Amino acid sequence: MFQNKNVEILVGIFVAAGLGALFVLAMKVSNLSELGDDKGYPLIARFDNIGGLKTRAAVTMAGVRIGRVDKIAFDDTTFEAVVTLKIDDQYKQIPKDTTASIFTSGLLGEQYVSLEAGGSMDNMKPNDQFKITQSALVLEKMIGQFLFKAAGGGGSQ
C-alpha cells in the first residue's frame, strides 16, 4: 500500500512538472502574453509597394512599438496596397498629418511600419487614412537607379 502511495505521488509530480514545463514554454518562450490583445483601433495606410511587410509586423513611433500590422489587402482600382494598422488603445493622440513609412530593422531584418508625428492639432480617429506614406525600398530599383546614374555620369564625359 505504501508503495502504491509513493507511486501515485511520483506520477502526480511528473504530470505537474510536465504541465509546468509546458506552461513555462508558453509564457516565457513564446509570444503568448502578447496574443489575445485584440484591443486597439485600426488606422489605414496606402502604399505603392509594401516590399516584404507581413501581418503582425511591428508599428513603431519614435522606435517604441505602439501597434501591429493587422491586415494587408490590395485595391485593384487604384493598384495600391491597403494596410490596416492596429494601434494600442492607450495611444490615442496620433496627429492627423502623421506619415507612415516602411523601414527594415537592421540589414537583413524584417520590415516594420514607422510613424513620424506631424504637427496637426487634430488626432486620427479609428479607420482614418494616413495622408502621406513612404513605400518600402526595393533593392533592385535602387541598383537600377545607381547604374543609370553611373552610366549617365560616365557617358557625358
Partner 1 sequence: MGWLRSLGRSGISFFERLGRGHLFLLSIIAGLPSLLPRGRLLVQQMHSVGVLSLLIIVVAGLFVGMVLGLQGYNTLVDFGAEESLGVMVALSLVRELGPVVTALLFAGRAGSALAAEIGLMKATEQLSGMEMMAVDPVKRVVVPRFVAGMLSMPLLAAIFSAVGVMGGYFVGVGLLGVDSGAFWSQIQARVDFYDDIVNGVIKSVAFGIVVTWIAVFEGYDAVPTSEGVARATTHTVVHASLAVLGLDFVLTALMFD
Q: Which is nearer to partner 1, 17 or 138 (CB)?
A: 17
Q: Distance between CA 23 and CA 142 in Å, rounded?
A: 47
Binding mask 8-27 for partner 1 (x = CB under 8 A): x-xx-xxx-xxx-xx-xxx-
By CB under 8 A, tell whether 7 contacts partner 1.
yes
Contacts of 136 (CB under 8 A, 6+ apart): 47, 49, 50, 51, 52, 53, 102, 103, 104, 111
52 near partner 1, judged by CB under 8 A: no
| E strand or H helix that includes residue 66 | strand 64-75
Q: Which of 1, 2, 29, 119 binds partner 1 (CB under 8 A)?
A: 29
Per the CB < 8 A criterion, the answer to whether 97 and 120 are in contact is yes
CA distances from 140 to 3, 51, 67, 80, 116 (A): 72, 11, 30, 19, 26
The verdict on 132 binding partner 1 (CB under 8 A) reads: no
CB of 9 to partner 1, least distance (A): 10
Nearest to partner 1 of 14, 146 (CB atom): 14
- 33 binds partner 1 per the rule CB under 8 A: yes
* DSSP-assigned letter for residue 138: P
Residues 114 and 68: their CA atoms lie apart, in Å, by 11
Which one among 1, 35, 64, 121 touches partner 1, defined by CB under 8 A? 35
Number of residues that bind partner 1 (CB under 8 A): 24
End-to-end CA distance of the chain: 100
The residue among 9 and 151 lying less far from partner 1, judged by its C-beta, is 9
> Which residues of this chain interact with partner 1, rule CB under 8 A?
4, 7-8, 10-11, 13-15, 17-19, 21-22, 24-26, 28-35
